[in-house]
Amino acid sequence: MKSFAFVFPGQGSQAVGMLDAWGDHPAVQQTLQETSEALGEDVARLIHEGPKEVLALTTNTQPVMLVAGVAAWRVWCAAGGAKPAALAGHSLGEYSALVAAGVLTLAQAAPLVRLRAAAMQEAVPVGAGAMAAILGLEASKVISGCAEAVVSLGGAEVVEAVNFNDPAQTVIAGTKAGVEKACEVLKATGAKRALPLPVSAPFHSSLMKPAAEKLRVALESVVLAEPQIPVVNNIDVAVRTDAAQIRDALYRQAFGPVRWVECVQALKARGITHLVEAGPGKVLAGLTKRIDAELTGLPLFDPATLAEVMEALK
């Protein structure tokens, strides 16, 4: 069998009805039931009915993406799928990876993710922060362009590179004025496009530090088990097995960049050739090919893609 990793998407891949294709699959139903009990609400109904605007609220998006990732993982396991060589998750997806690795139970992860989402939303008032995707410019130039923008604004604003998604796509975040200025600077530097993102907070920027502090307090009381599968984390691009180190990485991840390009490269360095994206959409599968053409990205989000993954990994 080919050497493969499971990777889990983050915020932005959610869609109303994203679990409908699984029908009444026992693993999916169990995942929905556990999460609903942990959060005290009907998560299955929220995912099935939406509406889209309610599903897009950060406090809902983060828990439902956790559910979708864990559901796909459990379906894989129920189908007799082999154990992956490693796991990773983009931003929020790291929580799904930690559930798959046995570090967190779903009942532990769901309230943590909701608290994380609420704290992030509270950290910066809606409209005060912003994010934008910078396309067609290498990461080092995006970093220096953000620094230039901050200097030109007298150091009063914040803008930082926060998601290194592929070699030519980096997301920036910060104050609204900081992001707007950086977009101007980066387009003048040679970026093909600077696209404002429809998000409610400047995720992974230093403005999220107050949210991270709340998350750190919550993490202190959560008992973590030893990973059964290696998890490459976002913040250090490293595999941690010590509970204190895993907690610290989750804390710093909330206000630090998602180093996805390096995570994918680290998976390849472990001899992995195929990355299975467990959850809705094909975002990470697409990024995989752009990061390294020698790697294969495979989405897994319904019975048809499950069969395709099983066949591809033989």
Catalytically active residues, by annotation: 91, 204
What is the arrangement of strands in the sheet containing 129-135, beginning at the earlier edge strand?
A: 159-166, 169-175, 129-135, 193-196
Q: Which residue has the tokens 């699959």?
A: 25
DSSP secondary structure, 254-273, as one string: TTS-B-HHHHHHHHHHTT--
Q: Distance between CA 92 and CA 113 in Å, rounded?
A: 8
Q: Is the dihedral of CA 255, 261, 264, 265 positive or negative?
A: negative
Residues 31, 114 contacting (CB under 8 angstroms): no
C-alpha distances (whole Å) from 213 to each of 120, 123, 145, 201 are: 10, 10, 29, 16
Q: Distance between CA 15 and CA 261 in Å, rounded?
A: 25
Q: Which residues, other chains included, contact 297 with Cβ-Cβ below 8 Å and sequence gap of 6+?
A: 274, 275, 277, 282, 284, 285, 286, 287, 288, 289
What is the arrangement of strands in the sheet containing 296-300, beginning at the earlier edge strand?
A: 231-232, 86-89, 4-8, 274-278, 296-300
DSSP helix/strand/coil, 126: coil
Beta bridge partners of 135: 169, 193
Strand ranges in 155-292 using DSSP code E only, listed in sequence order: 159-166, 169-175, 193-196, 231-232, 274-278
